[in-house]
Structure 1
Amino acid sequence: MKIDLLTVALADDDEDDRLLFEDAINELKIKTKLLLFKNGLELMNYLKKPDAELPQVLFLDLNMPVMDGMRCLDEIRRDSRLKNLSVAIYSTSSSEKDIVETYVRGANIYLTKPSDFKKLQNAIQKILSINWQFHSSNLDKDNFILRI
């Protein structure tokens, strides 16, 4: 099945980070539909709607008010309709504890937010170009962290 338009979601409480992400993704050659959420609760309320268009890739910030990324990840992996979503953790944290915890809880890839726009674009491009079925079946800690 060929996907002409890739649906991508970003949950991030920082408005500047959401705008930067949106600018970066809009400049890529990949045709995307971007869904933006201000916190985990807003994201989960959307995803749990029976008629919600599920994203092919979800970028999930860890440190958000109302509901953080860890809780979202747990809820996604427990929900039979959502459990196979490809989840890219997108966080300012590069702590080993966060990386290990999100890996164990079922995230697909971990990206520390780059401070440089071009690096952000390259990282998004790489993540959106991943063959998720293959990536997830061969997931280990070495290919979990996206190094840019």
Structure 2
Amino acid sequence: MQRLNKQVHCIAYDDAIEALKELSADANFLPDFIFLDLNMPRMQGKQLLREMKKLEHLSNVPFIIYSTSSESHDVEETKALGAVDYVVKAPSIKLLSERTEQVINLYKKPS
């Protein structure tokens, strides 16, 4: 992310439970984007997305799913749950960077 934009500050969590706990605890913290993997320890990405969409302060934050799965049912289900986009993990950093940059530019807040 920081290769795409030096001003990007990323916060990563080891698992979904930790992410939900941290993001639930601080209603003043409002990220520009939330990227979720479908396959995480302790709670799957779809369940985390459901829980995070219940948090009022995150209701307008764009959720982007990032996964190895390209199954249409995963894409459709996560979009029905409130994800704005779905990024399939690319086979190279170059392709992943290009796709991620597209998503960021599409959903970033106007300056």
> When the two structures are superposed, what TM-score results if normalisation uses the length of structure 2?
0.88
1:73 equivalent in alignment to 2:49: yes
Query: Which SS does the other structure have where 1:37 is aligned?
Result: coil
8 Å contact 2:16–2:44 — kept in the other structure?
yes
Q: 1:37-76 deviations in whole A, cap 9, x for unaligned?
A: 1211111011011256321011100011201111111011
Question: What is the DSSP-based 3-state SS (H/G/I as helix, E as strand, rest coil) of the residue aligned with 1:35?
Answer: coil
User: Could you say which residue in structure 1 is the equivalent of 2:70?
Assistant: 94
Match of 1:129 among 97, 105, 111: 105
CA distance in structure 1 between the partners assigned to 2:106 and 2:12 by the alignment = 21
Partner of 1:35: 11
* Higher strand proportion: 1
Residue of structure 2 equivalent to 1:64: 40
Aligned to 2:90: 114
Q: CA contact under 8 A between 1:46 and 1:52: conserved in structure 2? A: no
Q: CA RMSD in A?
A: 1.9
What is the rounded CA distance, in whole Å, between the counterparts of 1:30 and 1:118 in structure 2? Answer: 17
Which runs of 5 or more residues in structure 1 are unaligned?
1-24, 134-148
Q: Which runs of 4+ in 1 moved over 3 A?
A: none
Q: Is contact 2:69–2:88 with CA below 8 Å preserved after alignment?
A: yes
Amino acid paired to 2:77: E
Secondary structure of the residue that 1:59 maps to in structure 2?
A: strand
Give 5+ residue unaligned stretches, structure 2. none
Q: Which moved more, 1:28-37 or 1:41-50?
A: 28-37
SS at match of 1:110: strand
